[in-house]
Structures are given as C-alpha cells and as structure tokens.
C-alpha cells in the first residue's frame, strides 16, 4: 500500500514537472529586453527602410513605452503610423495619428502628422485594386476623400509655410474635383437610365457645390442633354449658352461624353 502511494506521488510530481516545462516552453522571450531606446529605434528604422513594416510596428510600440515622455517616443508614434499605413492598416494608422495629435498638440511635427493623416485617407480611398477594376476615385464612397481633404485643409490653414503644404494643396484640388465627379457620375447614371430630372438635380449639385472645377463642364452638358430628352428646348438652350460661355472650346457638344475607361491615376 505504501508503494502504491509512493508511485502515485511520483506520478503526480512527474505530471506537474511536465506541465511546468510546457509552460516554460511557451514563455515568449523579448529580444529587446536589454536594448537601449536608441538601439530599438535603429532596429525599427532598419525594418522600416527594408519594407518589413509588420516587424517595424511592434518595435516602435516597444520604443514608445521605453522612451515615454521623450521626443524619441513622439517620433516612434509618427513612424509607427507610417509603418501601419504602408502595411495596409489605414484605420490603425489614423488612430495612431489622432492619438499623437491629442497628446502633443504643440508638437513641431504636427504639420507632418496632419499631412500623413490626409495621405492615409487619400490612398485608402483609392483602394488596392482600383487599377485592376479601372474604377475612378469618384465612383466610390467619398467619406475617406472628405476626411483626407479636412486633414489637408487644416494643414494648409494652420501651417501655410510647411514643406508639406504645397503637396497638400495639390491633393486638395484633386479631391474637390473628385467629389464633383462623384456627383456627375451619379447624374450620368440617372441619365443613362432615363431618369432625366434626377440627372439634372445631381448635375446642378456638382455645379453649385464645386464651382470652377473641371467636372462642372460635363455637369452642364448633362443638363443640356437631359432637357433635350425631356423635350424642353428653352431650358436646354439656356443650359447650352451657359456651357458655351464658360467653356467656349468644349468638346462635349461635338464629341459627346468622354470615354471613362482611362484610370485617373495615370494623370496624378
């Protein structure tokens, strides 16, 4: 009987030892445990420059914690946002940038944070496979484009002398025309399905909300064509006169609608 108890005790001890060994074997070893903040930053930048964005992000996370309260921690946040952006994680990138701007409203890098936020949303709206589907930016949801515009607008308003301001301004111009094109795209959709009053309303929205952008030319032409289909010659001719006055060399009246198969990115 004592032997049986001894055997049971040994078996229990052995089992506990196996479980303990198993627990030890799954313990994650932190390779950065003995690293200085500068070494972590150097390693993270190496991963970033080599395109290993998924490896750079956790290193910047480590650095942010190790160097808390220092300029290096702020830089880690910005670099992490960029790595997340390049790694195809726009939502995380924007969240990181929003946190940075909330924590460091007086940072000298605030203009860059705004620029990067605008850039993240600008590219997020394009979509990874837009060039395969040949789908124009104006044909998709415009929320990201609007958020991109707001970030660029804040940048150019608050930091007009920033080195990022000129590029932000150029992108704003593109976004505005894109938003107008979105309205025109819907108007053309209605026109092609015979909903001419709906087409006129959407085209007029583009003209009213986005004055002076290239898309207005097609919006006016859509109005001309829609009134013609509705057999309303007086309104058609009025719209035609406005089109010819504002765009005396317009090709629409002689060539009709433009071919929409050319992707926008070839011109950016």
Q: Tell me the three-class secondary structure of the chain, residue by residue.
A: CHHHHHHHHHHHHHHHHHHHHHHHHCCCCCCCCCCCHHHHHHHHHHHHHCCCHHHHHHHHHHHHHHCCCCHHHHHHHHHHHHHHHHCCCHHHHHHHHHHHHHHCCCCCCHHHHHHHHHHHHHHHHHCCCHHHHCCCHHHCCCHHHHHHHHHHHHHHHHCCCCCCHHHHHHHHHHHHHHHHHHHHHHHHHHHHCCCHHHHHHHHHHHHHHCCCCCHHHHHHHHHHHHHHHCCCHHHHHHHHHHHHHHCCCCCHHHHCCCCCCCCHHHHC
- Distance from chain centroid for Cα 121: 2
Report pLDDT for 223: 97
Angle between the N-to-C axes of helices 90-103 and 110-126, in degrees from 0 to 180, rounded to the nearest 10: 160
- Please list the ranges in the chain whose pLDDT falls under 50: 6, 16-23, 25, 126-135, 137-138, 261-268
Q: Are 79 and 58 in contact (CB under 8 A)?
A: no
Report pLDDT for 30: 79
Report pLDDT for 124: 62
Whose structure tokens read 């860059």? 112
Give, rounded to a whole angstrom, the gap between the first and last alpha carbons of the chain: 87
Q: Are 88 and 124 in contact (CB under 8 A)?
A: no
Report pLDDT for 144: 86
Report pLDDT for 258: 73
CA distances from residue 246 to 48, 212, 235, 252 in whole angstroms, order as listed: 49, 10, 17, 13
Q: Are 157 and 130 in contact (CB under 8 A)?
A: no
The two three-digit tokens of residue 2, written as one number: 């004592």
Report pLDDT for 83: 97
Report pLDDT for 37: 92
Number of C-beta neighbours around residue 82 at 10 A = 22
Q: What residues contact 264, with CB distance under 8 A and at least 6 apart?
A: 136, 137, 138, 178
Predicted TM-score (pTM) of the model is 0.72
Report pLDDT for 105: 94
């Amino acid at each position: 009987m004592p032997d049986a108890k001894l055997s049971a005790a040994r078996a229990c001890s052995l089992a506990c030892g196996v479980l303990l060994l198993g627990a030890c074997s799954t313990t994650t070893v932190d390779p950065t445990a003995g690293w200085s903040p500068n070494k972590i930053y150097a390693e993270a930048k190496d991963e970033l420059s080599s395109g290993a964005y998924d490896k750079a992000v956790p290193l910047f996370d480590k650095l942010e914690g190790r160097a808390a309260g220092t300029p290096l921690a702020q830089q880690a946040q910005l670099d992490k946002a960029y790595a997340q952006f390049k790694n195809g994680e726009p939502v995380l990138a924007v969240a990181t940038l929003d946190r940075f701007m909330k924590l460091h409203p007086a940072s000298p890098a605030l203009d860059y944070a705004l620029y990067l936020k605008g850039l993240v949303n600008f590219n997020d709206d394009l979509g990874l496979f837009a060039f395969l589907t040949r789908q124009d930016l104006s044909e998709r949801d415009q929320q990201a484009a609007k958020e991109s515009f707001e970030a660029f607008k804040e940048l150019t308003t608050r930091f007009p002398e920033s080195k990022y301001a000129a590029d932000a301004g150029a992108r704003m111009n593109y976004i505005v025309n894109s938003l107008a094109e979105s309205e025109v795209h819907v108007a053309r959709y209605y026109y092609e399905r015979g909903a001419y009053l709906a087409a006129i309303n959407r085209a007029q929205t583009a003209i009213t909300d986005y004055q002076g952008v290239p898309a207005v030319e097609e919006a006016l032409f859509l109005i001309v064509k829609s009134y013609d289909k509705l057999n309303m010659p007086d309104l058609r001719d009025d719209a035609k006169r406005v089109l010819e006055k504002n765009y005396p060399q317009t090709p629409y009246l002689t060539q009709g609608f433009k071919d929409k198969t050319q992707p926008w990115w070839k011109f950016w």
